[in-house]
C-alpha cells in the first residue's frame, strides 16, 4: 500500500449560496473541478471524487464514489473516500478550492512522516481548523464511522479523538500569506472576484 498515493475531492455540497451546483463552476471556459483533477494527478496516483452525480466525471482520470453514511456533511465524504482509498493517507480538498500548493502538501507529508500522526490539518487562529487541504489516515476509519453513527459530524471534534498534527496559522502563512490555498468559492461574488483578480497561479 502506498503511503501518500491518493487525493480525495469532496463534491457533494448543497451549493445553496452559489445558486447552482459547484461541480459546474467554470473558469476559463473549463470546469474548475476538471482543472483540480488534472492538477492533483501530477502529485497523486489515485484521485477519488465523492459525488452524487458520477456521470459528470465520465472520461476523467478519477474514481467516483457516493456517501455511504449520508447527510453528515464533509465527514461523510472523508469517510467513504478513505474507505475506497488504496493509500495509507489521503489528501482531502473540496471541489470549490482552486488553489493547490504542492510545497505545502510536501510540508504536510514531512510532518506526518516525522510525527506518525493520524491526520494533519491547519489551524485558523486558535479555535478553528481548516478541514480541507489536509491529510487523513485510513487508520481512523473506524473512529469516523462510530462517530458518524452516533449522529455526530464535526470534523473538529472528531480530530480531538485521534492523533492529529495541527499546523499553526503563522507557519501556514509562510506558504500562503493571503490564505489563498484555503479559498472556497462559495458565492457568485467569490467566483467573480477570483476570476477578475486572477488569484490562482496553480491551474494552467
What is the distance between the alpha carbons of residues 80 and 66, in angstroms, rounded to a whole number?
7
10 is in an annotated binding site: yes
Query: Long-range contacts made by residues 54-62, C-beta under 8 angstroms, separation at least 24?
Result: 56/23, 56/24, 60/34, 61/37, 62/9, 62/37
C-alpha cell at 9: 475531492
If you search the block for the grid coordinates 467569490, which residue do you land on?
190
5 is in an annotated binding site: no
172 is in an annotated binding site: no
22 is in an annotated binding site: yes
If you search the block for the grid coordinates 464533509, which residue do you land on?
74
C-alpha cell at 6: 491518493
If you search the block for the grid coordinates 473541478, which residue do you land on?
33
What is the distance between the alpha carbons of residues 122 and 153, in angstroms, rounded to a whole number?
19
What is the distance between the alpha carbons of residues 103 and 156, in angstroms, rounded to a whole number?
25
- Residues of each annotated binding site for GTP: 10-12, 22, 96
- Residues of each annotated binding site: 10-12, 22, 96
- Residues of each annotated binding site for Mg(2+): 96
Amino acid at each position: 500500500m502506498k503511503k501518500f498515493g491518493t487525493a480525495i475531492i469532496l463534491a457533494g455540497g448543497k451549493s445553496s449560496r452559489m445558486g447552482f451546483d459547484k461541480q459546474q463552476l467554470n473558469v476559463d471556459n473549463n470546469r474548475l473541478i476538471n482543472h483540480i483533477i488534472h492538477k492533483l494527478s501530477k502529485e497523486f496516483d489515485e484521485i477519488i471524487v465523492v459525488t452524487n452525480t458520477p456521470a459528470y466525471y465520465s472520461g476523467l482520470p478519477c474514481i467516483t464514489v457516493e456517501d455511504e453514511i449520508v447527510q453528515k456533511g464533509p465527514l461523510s465524504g472523508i469517510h467513504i473516500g478513505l474507505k475506497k482509498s488504496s493509500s495509507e493517507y489521503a489528501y482531502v480538498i473540496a471541489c470549490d478550492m482552486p488553489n493547490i500548493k504542492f510545497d505545502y502538501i510536501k510540508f504536510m507529508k514531512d510532518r506526518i512522516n516525522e510525527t506518525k500522526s493520524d491526520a494533519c490539518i491547519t489551524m485558523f487562529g486558535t479555535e478553528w481548523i481548516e478541514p480541507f487541504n489536509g491529510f487523513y489516515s485510513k487508520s481512523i476509519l473506524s473512529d469516523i464511522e462510530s462517530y458518524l453513527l452516533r449522529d455526530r459530524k464535526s470534523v473538529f471534534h472528531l480530530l480531538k479523538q485521534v492523533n492529529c498534527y495541527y499546523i499553526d496559522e503563522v507557519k501556514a502563512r509562510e506558504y500562503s500569506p493571503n490564505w489563498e490555498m484555503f479559498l472556497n468559492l462559495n458565492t457568485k461574488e467569490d467566483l467573480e472576484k477570483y476570476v477578475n483578480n486572477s488569484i490562482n497561479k496553480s491551474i494552467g
